A and B are shown apart, each in its own frame.
Chain A
Amino acid sequence: MKLISKIWVAITVLLSFTSCEAQIKNEKTETVKIYGNCGMCEKRIEKAGNINNIAKVDWDVDTKMATITYDSKKTNQDAILKSIALSGHDSDTFLAPNEAYSKLPSCCQYNRIAKVPVKVNTVASDTISANSKVDMTNHTTAENQLKAVFDNYFAVKDALVKTDGNTASAKATALLSAINAVKMETLKTEEHNVWMKVLKDTKEDAEHISGTKDAKHQRDHFDTLSKNIYELIKVSKQETPTYYQFCPMANNGKGANWLSKEDVVKNPYYGSMMLSCGKVTETIK
């Protein structure tokens, strides 16, 4: 018995070798702007920036300014701002990865449009330029305006493959504006006929997908949206082939279709759970 108690003492002694809290040495303090919205953001920003005994971050919700105190021999402002950006929060030095930003809860998704110079706006500017060209020429641009519709559809699909409700919603908004931008009178006859038929439903589906961030609800509408876009793409000549794909398990076992630019199956109805479920049923050229 005595032996066992001795061993326990030894173990406790061995395990209690944790270092005590110490002050940050070679202290340097700076104030920088970090983009965020709320108290939740504050917690995340500070957690991402803090390093025991090396760096401490104190972010102010109202001013969006962070006071950063750090050991100047062990780290620097850039390193701290980088790890904060990796958690989803932009600063004036680093832009967060898009995945990190879109994973933030919606209350934390601060307005970052002004911060990304060109890239994020490409979809919008495409549709604008398609619009402006419409007035001047005829058929070639008609293809362009439908192309904007298709491209945005594929963007919605890609977002759903990743089960990324935020992006799907954003892309569906772009899809909606592309649909609204289409000038029916410039379409070819066959396109025109199909367009008249599907316009109302397509618009409604796009509105629903853009109106929610819940991927499940978005997928319900994506099913019907896909069918209508399929009708449309069949009559509209495209430069590259499109693949009409089908997963028998989607939509509660009733099966559902979608369109893809690649023949590899990446199922938008289940995300990573059942990514490769499905097959190509038709190749549209």
Chain B
Amino acid sequence: MKNISILPAAILILFISQSIFAQKIVRYDLYVRDTIVTFGDKPKHAIAVNGQIPMPTLTFTEGDIAEIYVHNELKESTSLHWHGLFLPNKEDGVPNLTQMPIEPNTTHKYTFPIIQHGTHWYHSHSGMQEQIGMYGNFIMLKKPTDPTFRKGIDDLPSVPIVLSEWTDANPDNVHRMLHNATDWFAIQKGTTQSYSEAIQQGHFKTKVNNEWKRMNAMDVSDVYYNKFLINGKNESQLSQFKGGDKVRLRISNGGASTYFWLNYAAGKITVVANDGNDVEPVEVDRLIVAVSETYDIVVTIPADKTAYEFLVTSEDRTKSASLYLGDGIKQLNSTLPKLKYFEGMKMMNDMMKMNGDLDDMGMSMSYNQMDMNVVMYPEITGEAKPKSDKMGVIKMTENDYNSNKLSDIVTLNYAMLKSPFKTNLPKDAPIRELKFELTGNMNRYVWSLDNKVVSETDKILIKKGENVRITIYNGSMMRHPMHLHGHDFRIINGQGDYAPLKNIIDIMPMETDVLEFNANVEGDWFFHCHILYHMMAGMGRVFTYENQAPNPLIPNPKLAQRKLFADDRKFHLMAENDFATNGNDGSAMYQNTRWSIGTEWRLGYNDMHGYEIETHIGRYIGKMQWLMPFIGFDWRYRKMEDNEMEKNLFNQTNTKDKRSVFSLGLEYTFPMLIKAQAEVFTDGNVRLQFERMDIPVSKRLRMNLMWNTDKEYMAGLRYIVKRNFGITTHYDSDMGIGFGVSLNY
């Protein structure tokens, strides 16, 4: 009896004690659905969560327990990654790595304790879903009793803001076009940098030099976007604020591939936190937010009856978005002046060695302090002066690229970030040193670490408890925002014990940055470039802990790994055909990171003109992928008068009548982007061919030239009318002159 009466009492006590210590559970239900939106010029498919884009802002207080139910009502699988959060690996939301994808019409529950504070965000980690709406703010507030609570900052009214971009093109198609080195985006942006534009601006030599070094037109970003958005709107106003108010903006860059400049019409911007971690307040005129970074900034509204423009401009400066802070007449900020592309091209020429490596000319660069792009910023280095070349061969030094020394506009860089408290790692832990080079190849849109993509490498094993120090050098021509899942790292930026904590580091070309973190949570953690199209191309690695417990959400690790690797092993198709008066000319290419299957055809309209198909299967070699050995198959049929024979330059005869042969060959890209092919056929014939395609004559006019030792030659012009439609004329040694239209995919 006595025992029985004690039991309920014990249970009661247990309950009470639990409710005292129990943390607050905060539950969100997210319904993921297909939708149609008109952010650009036309209604397009997008994904909305709870009926909205961006996804709803999720707010927690440090100490809460998050319970997030994801209801997938799409026709495809999805996932959600909690960007910058410390959580158990199985809640991290990377499909095929930390969990299996959330299948259509199923619900997945994410739950984890909130053990940090700050401005973060969340997004889909599946395919291209982040590009079409799956991004939102994730705010974790400090407890009011927190010893780090900063009066005058943490008690200000705050507004969560997520920046993003919109393209009317299907993002899968964007990805495919990037891999096919399309210049359609450049045409849309007006940045073709063709020969005629170069001549007009007195930069003919620059352009030739650029092609001599085997570079296509350079740009600061890859994709053309129709609109840029602040919380899903291009223009909006927060009229609840009045003169004298201070506002804290919690800004996340939810763009898939866009860096954003931030400017404020009423002057200075005070940066108070970065990547969710407090920093000592620092006052700047402007800052650039790398893809997936977050910044907390404080701005002041200086006057009543006036709304001040908070201007968000894409790095390529094609377009912008505005948020007006305050009520009344809108005080505008100047728009950022257009980039001086040919100055940038000249800078790239100077930095590029003939072998494709970058040459920092003895300057040591790190933490965004020097920005080579300043040569393109008119507000820092002055307006473009046509046809002046007075700088000549003066050797440039660090100061020539430090925008804060060149002008009185203060631009934030990582060296200015300082943590308010010491961030040293555990002292006696063993140190693990790792080194990476960021590598890439713009022409073929291959992005990698140490010239290897995710599927070509093993996971990197680290030990729990050790301090991992990573040195990263960017040897590619683009900047890359590298993101580490599940951990914050400190960047060795000269602030000593007070090095700032981040989970994204933007690394500019030729920079060397050092970061370090304590390995303290087991699991498979993705470390990757956060530009969506670079990540899908395989620019990343996976960190994994030695002897860790298996992840219960990955029942079949082999299958999961194969699915994960499928992303960067994907082949991309490109095809074009010219329907001309003298025949059909076309080609199709099916390529991935290393392999290329290509077919070219020339189909006449009668037997005299002949029919010809050449197929090559090759593998690209080296970092720059200039060399490609291949095997081929060649079939042709042509009726010749009087059974005449053709002779090639080597006096070998060639029956073009009917020929089907295999071949072995090499393709190499020479300076001026001339592709040379040397090919030996099974019938003993040898052929050497030189070809230069798509010479940018003017904004939309392209020229093609070809000649080979079979005494065949071709010259053609193509005027690009639309993305997949052009008007052509060409002269061909077999088929004569022709006019036509070309279609390309």
A contact residues vs B (CB 8 Å cutoff): 3, 6-7, 10-11, 14-15, 17, 78, 82, 85-86, 92-97, 99-100, 115-119, 158, 161-162, 264, 266, 272, 275-276
Q: A95-B330, A118-B302 are in contact. List 8 more A-B contacts (CB 8 A).
A: A17-B727, A86-B332, A86-B334, A97-B265, A115-B329, A117-B306, A119-B266, A276-B405
Q: Min CB distance, B319 to chain A, in Å?
A: 12
Within B6-20, the residues touching A (CB, 8 Å) are none
Within B719-745, the residues touching A (CB, 8 Å) are 719, 721, 727, 729, 731, 737, 739
Flag whether B106 is at the interface (Cβ < 8 A). no
A94 contacts B330, C-beta separation under 8 Å: yes
One digit per residue, 1 when the CB lies within 8 angstroms of any chain A CB and 0 when it does not, for chain B 405-446 equals 111100000000000000000000000000000000000000
Question: Which chain A residues border B727 with CB–CB below 8 Å?
Answer: 14, 17
How far, in angstroms, from A11 to B719 measured CA to CA in the complex? 9
Q: Min CB distance, A164 to chain B, in Å?
A: 11
27 A-B residue pairs with Cβ-Cβ distance under 8 Å, sorted by A, are A7-B729, A15-B719, A17-B727, A78-B235, A86-B334, A86-B335, A92-B329, A94-B329, A94-B330, A94-B331, A95-B330, A96-B332, A97-B265, A97-B332, A97-B333, A99-B334, A116-B306, A117-B306, A117-B328, A118-B304, A119-B302, A264-B404, A264-B405, A272-B381, A272-B406, A272-B407, A275-B408
Flag whether B157 is at the interface (Cβ < 8 A). no
The 9 closest A-B pairs by CB, nearest first: A118-B303, A10-B729, A97-B334, A95-B331, A14-B719, A119-B303, A117-B303, A266-B408, A94-B330
A94 contacts B737, C-beta separation under 8 Å: no
How far, in angstroms, from A7 to B266 measured CA to CA in the complex? 57
A10 CB contact (under 8 Å) in B306, B334, B739: B739
Question: Which chain A residues border B729 with CB–CB below 8 Å?
Answer: 7, 10-11, 14
* A117-B304 CB under 8 A given contacts A6-B737, A11-B717: yes
Question: Which chain A residues border B721 with CB–CB below 8 Å?
Answer: 17
Q: Min CB distance, B335 to chain A, in Å?
A: 6
B719 contacts A117, C-beta separation under 8 Å: no
Flag whether B399 is at the interface (Cβ < 8 A). yes
Q: Min CB distance, B703 to chain A, in Å?
A: 11
A276 CB contact (under 8 Å) in B265, B335, B406: B406
B399 contacts A95, C-beta separation under 8 Å: no
Question: Which chain A residues border B63 with CB–CB below 8 Å?
Answer: none
Which of B302, B331, B719 counts the most chain A CB atoms within 10 A? B331
Q: Min CB distance, A271 to chain B, in Å?
A: 9
How far, in angstroms, from A94 to B237 measured CA to CA in the complex? 13
Question: Which chain B residues border A162 with CB–CB below 8 Å?
Answer: 408
Question: Which chain A residues border B303 with CB–CB below 8 Å?
Answer: 116-119
Question: Which chain B residues border A99 with CB–CB below 8 Å?
Answer: 334
How far, in angstroms, from A100 to B337 measured CA to CA in the complex? 12
B contacts with A, residue count (CB < 8 A): 34
Which of B306, B332, B335, B721 counts the most chain A CB atoms within 10 A? B332
B719 contacts A17, C-beta separation under 8 Å: yes
Within B368-410, the residues touching A (CB, 8 Å) are 381-382, 399, 404-408
Q: Min CB distance, B318 to chain A, in Å?
A: 15
How far, in angstroms, from A9 to B306 measured CA to CA in the complex? 59
Q: Min CB distance, A128 to chain B, in Å?
A: 17
Flag whether B243 is at the interface (Cβ < 8 A). yes
Question: Which chain A residues border B406 with CB–CB below 8 Å?
Answer: 272, 275-276
How far, in angstroms, from A14 to B739 measured CA to CA in the complex? 10
Flag whether B143 is at the interface (Cβ < 8 A). no
B contact residues vs A (CB 8 Å cutoff): 235, 243, 265-266, 302-306, 328-335, 381-382, 399, 404-408, 701, 717, 719, 721, 727, 729, 731, 737, 739
Question: Which chain A residues border B330 with CB–CB below 8 Å?
Answer: 93-95
How far, in angstroms, from A197 to B331 measured CA to CA in the complex? 43
How far, in angstroms, from A82 to B330 measured CA to CA in the complex? 9
B717 contacts A14, C-beta separation under 8 Å: yes
How far, in angstroms, from A179 to B333 measured CA to CA in the complex? 32
How far, in angstroms, from A82 to B311 measured CA to CA in the complex? 13
Q: Min CB distance, A33 to chain B, in Å?
A: 12
How far, in angstroms, from A202 to B201 measured CA to CA in the complex? 46
> Which secondary structure dominates where chain B touches chain A?
mixed
How far, in angstroms, from A63 to B719 measured CA to CA in the complex? 48
Q: Min CB distance, A4 to chain B, in Å?
A: 10
How far, in angstroms, from A99 to B337 measured CA to CA in the complex? 12
Question: Which chain B residues border A85 with CB–CB below 8 Å?
Answer: 332
Q: Min CB distance, A268 to chain B, in Å?
A: 10
A276 contacts B332, C-beta separation under 8 Å: no
How far, in angstroms, from A99 to B331 measured CA to CA in the complex? 12
A100 contacts B334, C-beta separation under 8 Å: yes
Question: Which chain B residues border A100 with CB–CB below 8 Å?
Answer: 334
How far, in angstroms, from A99 to B739 measured CA to CA in the complex? 52
Q: Min CB distance, B404 to chain A, in Å?
A: 7
Question: Which chain B residues border A161 with CB–CB below 8 Å?
Answer: 408
Question: Which chain A residues border B265 with CB–CB below 8 Å?
Answer: 97
Question: Which chain A residues border B739 with CB–CB below 8 Å?
Answer: 10
Question: Which chain A residues border B304 with CB–CB below 8 Å?
Answer: 117-118
A95 CB contact (under 8 Å) in B235, B243, B332: B332
How far, in angstroms, from A161 to B409 measured CA to CA in the complex? 11
A82 contacts B408, C-beta separation under 8 Å: no
How far, in angstroms, from A15 to B330 measured CA to CA in the complex? 43
How far, in angstroms, from A116 to B737 measured CA to CA in the complex? 67
How far, in angstroms, from A6 to B304 measured CA to CA in the complex? 68
* A276-B399 CB under 8 A given contacts A86-B335, A118-B304, A158-B408: yes
How far, in angstroms, from A96 to B332 measured CA to CA in the complex? 6
How far, in angstroms, from A15 to B196 measured CA to CA in the complex? 14
Question: Which chain A residues border B328 with CB–CB below 8 Å?
Answer: 117
Q: Min CB distance, A103 to chain B, in Å?
A: 9
How far, in angstroms, from A81 to B382 measured CA to CA in the complex? 27
Question: Which chain A residues border B243 with CB–CB below 8 Å?
Answer: 117-118
Question: Which chain A residues border B329 with CB–CB below 8 Å?
Answer: 92-95, 115
How far, in angstroms, from A93 to B332 measured CA to CA in the complex? 10
Q: Min CB distance, B585 to chain A, in Å?
A: 16
Residue of B nearest to A118 (CB): B303
How far, in angstroms, from A10 to B737 measured CA to CA in the complex? 11
A7 contacts B731, C-beta separation under 8 Å: yes
Q: Min CB distance, B491 to chain A, in Å?
A: 23
Q: Min CB distance, B580 to chain A, in Å?
A: 11
How far, in angstroms, from A6 to B730 measured CA to CA in the complex? 11
Q: Min CB distance, B176 to chain A, in Å?
A: 27
How far, in angstroms, from A82 to B729 measured CA to CA in the complex? 44
A94 contacts B332, C-beta separation under 8 Å: yes
Question: Which chain B residues border A97 with CB–CB below 8 Å?
Answer: 265, 331-334
How far, in angstroms, from A95 to B717 measured CA to CA in the complex? 48
Residue of A nearest to B334 (CB): A97
Question: Which chain B residues border A3 with CB–CB below 8 Å?
Answer: 731, 737
How far, in angstroms, from A118 to B399 measured CA to CA in the complex? 38
Q: Min CB distance, A52 to chain B, in Å?
A: 15
Q: Min CB distance, A276 to chain B, in Å?
A: 5
Question: Which chain B residues border A86 with CB–CB below 8 Å?
Answer: 332, 334-335
How far, in angstroms, from A158 to B333 measured CA to CA in the complex? 19
Question: Which chain B residues border A7 with CB–CB below 8 Å?
Answer: 729, 731, 737
How far, in angstroms, from A185 to B408 measured CA to CA in the complex? 38
Question: Which chain B residues border A15 with CB–CB below 8 Å?
Answer: 701, 719
Q: Min CB distance, B719 to chain A, in Å?
A: 4
Q: Min CB distance, B705 to chain A, in Å?
A: 14
Which of B408, B717, B731 counts the most chain A CB atoms within 10 A? B408
Question: Which chain B residues border A10 with CB–CB below 8 Å?
Answer: 717, 729, 739
Q: Min CB distance, A100 to chain B, in Å?
A: 6
How far, in angstroms, from A6 to B235 measured CA to CA in the complex? 51
Question: Which chain A residues border B717 with CB–CB below 8 Å?
Answer: 10-11, 14
Question: Which chain A residues border B334 with CB–CB below 8 Å?
Answer: 86, 97, 99-100
Question: Which chain B residues border A117 with CB–CB below 8 Å?
Answer: 243, 303-306, 328
Q: Min CB distance, A168 to chain B, in Å?
A: 14
How far, in angstroms, from A116 to B266 measured CA to CA in the complex? 12
Q: Min CB distance, A116 to chain B, in Å?
A: 8
Residue of A nearest to B383 (CB): A272
Q: Min CB distance, B378 to chain A, in Å?
A: 10
